[in-house]
């Protein structure tokens, strides 16, 4: 055995390649293939270091006896005629794809994100064997930035790998981007839900909606706005925004307080949602 596997050669190299990829991504001058290549190699090496910890033969394509014996007795004198024992098992280590396929049995994070990791392998293949356009390279780097940094970070935490820290700035940006994407997904679902309600209404119900709107607009501080869900007229209640910064109280203007649409039942009270739908 190669002794203690705390910090393997694979892990050391993984740290180097991921660090290089991070540097290149942060630099971001022209879209080129190296950040993708370095990130893919770093990820492959990281997975190999993890596989090696479980069983040193797992990093080889062929986990048969001829590779095991070489690892167990590294000082073994090898009889050239004896092809039962492989003299150089390292030549045949697994690809990124196979490393993911093997490690997903040992890691929930790898299992849950296997397709994203397979896509990284595919991306590396296309970068090496084809001539991707600047636009394709940009898309590939963006995929790494927004998806893979977070997955690798989760993997590092899940497996308690010491000595490797991913770039904080890239992680925070990726997390913020994912939160944003999730928020807009929720908002679009809300919009679709209320549009469906409006569409399913009978003509008689629509007349009731008109009447309700007329009643709502009777209150002070209200005005008509277009409903962001059904497109019909809704009622927006506004309130005065004050400025206290100068020591004297002055008014800044009006800000939205509540939107109510009697046609589809849409109701908004949160500033973030007003902003999302562009209601000012």
Minimum CB distance to Zn ion, residue 228 (Å): 8
Tokens of 66: 């001829």
Distance CA 191, CA 134 (A): 36
Minimum CB distance to Zn ion, residue 262 (Å): 8
Q: What sign has the CA pseudo-torsion 164, 165, 166, 171?
A: positive
Nearer to Zn ion, 227 or 235 (CB): 227
Minimum CB distance to Zn ion, residue 191 (Å): 9
Nearer to Zn ion, 40 or 273 (CB): 273
Closest CA to 253 of 266, 263, 242: 242
Minimum CB distance to Zn ion, residue 265 (Å): 7
Distance CA 63, CA 57 (A): 5
Nearer to Zn ion, 101 or 233 (CB): 233
Q: Which residues bind Zn ion (CB under 5 A)?
A: 227, 229-230, 261, 263-264, 266
Closest CA to 46 of 72, 67, 19: 19
Minimum CB distance to Zn ion, residue 233 (Å): 9
Minimum CB distance to Zn ion, residue 138 (Å): 39
Nearer to Zn ion, 42 or 209 (CB): 209
Nearer to Zn ion, 4 or 202 (CB): 202
Nearer to Zn ion, 125 or 265 (CB): 265
């Amino acid at each position: 055995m190669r002794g203690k596997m705390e910090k393997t050669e694979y892990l050391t190299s993984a740290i180097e390649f991921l660090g290089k990829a991070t540097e290149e991504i942060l630099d971001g001058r022209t879209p080129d293939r190296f950040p993708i290549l370095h990130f893919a190699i770093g990820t492959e090496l990281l997975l190999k270091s993890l596989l090696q910890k479980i069983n040193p033969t797992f990093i080889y394509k062929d986990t048969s006896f001829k590779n095991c014996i070489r690892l167990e007795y590294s000082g073994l004198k090898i009889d050239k005629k004896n092809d039962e024992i492989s003299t150089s098992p390292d030549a045949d280590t697994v690809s990124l794809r196979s490393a993911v396929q093997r490690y997903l049995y040992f890691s929930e994070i790898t299992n849950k994100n296997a397709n994203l990791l397979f896509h990284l392998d595919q991306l590396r293949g296309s970068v090496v064997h084809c001539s991707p356009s600047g636009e394709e390279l940009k898309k590939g780097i963006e995929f790494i930035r927004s998806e893979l940094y977070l997955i690798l970070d989760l993997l590092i935490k899940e497996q308690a790998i010491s000595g490797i820290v991913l770039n904080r700035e890239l992680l925070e940006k990726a997390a913020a981007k994912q939160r944003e994407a999730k928020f807009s997904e929720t908002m679009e679902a809300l919009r679709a839900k209320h549009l469906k309600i409006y569409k399913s209404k009978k003509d008689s119900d629509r007349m009731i909606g008109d009447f309700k709107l007329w009643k709502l607009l009777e209150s002070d501080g209200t005005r008509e706005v277009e409903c962001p869900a059904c497109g019909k007229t809704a009622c927006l209640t506004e309130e005065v925004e004050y400025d206290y910064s100068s020591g004297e109280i002055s008014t800044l203007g009006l800000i939205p307080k509540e939107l109510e649409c009697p046609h589809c039942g849409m109701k908004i009270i949160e500033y973030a949602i007003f902003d999302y739908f562009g209601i000012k």
